Structure 1
């Protein structure tokens, strides 16, 4: 038993010693940025200046970088390789010594004798990198050490975006609020980063309704510096979408699906606008689309007034005590080409003995006519609960129009009215 505990203790000591040694060899010693730290008492007040001279140069060499220390390569596809040359000059009066420090990419100094630059000379520092595929941004750096006392280290950086073979700009197409009865259009740019040209074939949406009402055009353009981070793309296409009236009201979130072929992948390229079946040599690129389809009739929203997916509204008034005002107001907006030829009225209300409403004189404002709506609630001798705790257990009113092109709209009213004498 004693031997067991002895062997266990010996194993613990040996294991701890080996682990500490390996950790120290790997991480425990590295050169400090301002030189080695000495704690053995060899540095005193009498010799500190002499010691400092060992670590800090008083050379008259001056390192100057021709250009910025950060190179933005724009955008590159995953796995692609790039390189960039930085130029370092010696603008001082002494020999400039250069050496490579810490680096996260391949870094090569120009052909120098003993890595030295005479006054007035310059050399190139080339950084090479391979773009990783697991991130959307990329950055690599290399440190260049010098004997310039004013610039002991120069950090060179290359950075940019990591893109797919096909990129959209914008990636998320937001067409905002559009009227269901009016046509609208939106666009995005498609950039090709393949090694070969492509030919767009067709486009459709995840929404079948939007696909049926849309016409999509592809207009090629020359990629230039004006395209910013996409200036290195091989091709560019402007994707224009024209949508006819008729979309259902409510939020619309879908994706744009552009099918394309690589040049040479097939003898003939079809150009039909819609394609249900894709051949093996046809590829698809996706972009997100989002917006909201509105009817010509809307209500200006507030904390109490919120729209629903079906195009109606919910007016939440909460609990009204005996001292609260029973008259509430909101603004109904009429937009589109029919706004000037349409009149609004209050239709059916429920409960009719509790809810009444009327419109004030309309107000013209640019492309919109505003109709002030006054809601008049009636209290009774008993509690009136229209909070909608159960399904459809709330009040409502209908807003009607005399124009068949402007559909009527329902407003649900959630309220609890305390009894009043």
Structure 2
């Protein structure tokens, strides 16, 4: 009896083992593809993953060819500028649009299809057509490596964003001291002067072969002359040669800040073209006061603007002198278009003083942008027509950011 029971137990154990083995052979555990993370073998068909070749998207017929996206300027003198054109072509069978989005800084001028890219809108390239993106970089600051460029958007699915860059090294074999012609605050009816030195550390002479002030309105205000330096009066005794650039302000009729660019062609091999900023602030009988206004800089700085709410500041324009003989104050222009200005009713404070309210605003719903000056976007500008006999025009620079 005991022996029979023992054999029965052994038979049961063997039977269970054989049953499990057969079940393992018949139903492979990986065929369940459980969420526990068991990897299926490599021979699974597309059907196992729920895809078929027919599900793949058709190949796009839009095709933009870009031969290069980065260009090496090499070593550049501080104050010089260089330009490079990047060709792009439509090699597909459908039209392609190319539109400027942003650049890395204001020191990088960007052109698309031969025109300034900012605000120009998209360029349409038909099949077989080509155009160029041109970058011009003005070397500013201390000796260092640089990498600047611009970003564009296209409707080519394979190249929805295009980024072009120019790279190189800033070197200092020629120096500008100071690096700009800044007049500071000048009276509208009095002359003023600003100057800088061009010093060469590698070449025995500095000569200006040609020069030009690029902005016509600044060219009307400023005269340029050059004085050769001697080793005794150079600002740096280590320099081999130098030249003094003198800018003279001519009294005029326009108030407010002015900004321009002096380009000079020289005999220097590694600095054949020098670029120098010109700036100043003309003051007179018309002034502005209120929150955010900096009289010394002629600059209104708005607080950060919420694009969903908009914002505004209230200023006062003060007109001194015989304002009764003047015409009404008017808004001549604003830039960019998102910057709005509105004048209130004039208030006569005395026979020699008139106050005019000025409201500067950014409307609700404006798109995000930065207009803080320098590398952070060109500042805005408001131009007032005053009717004043001496100073009929007044300019306000406006720095703002819309978030």
TM-score, structure 1 as length reference: 0.34
Higher relative contact order by CA 8 Å / sep ≥ 6: 1 or 2? 2
Tell me which structure has the larger Cα radius of gyration: 1
TM-score, structure 2 as length reference: 0.35
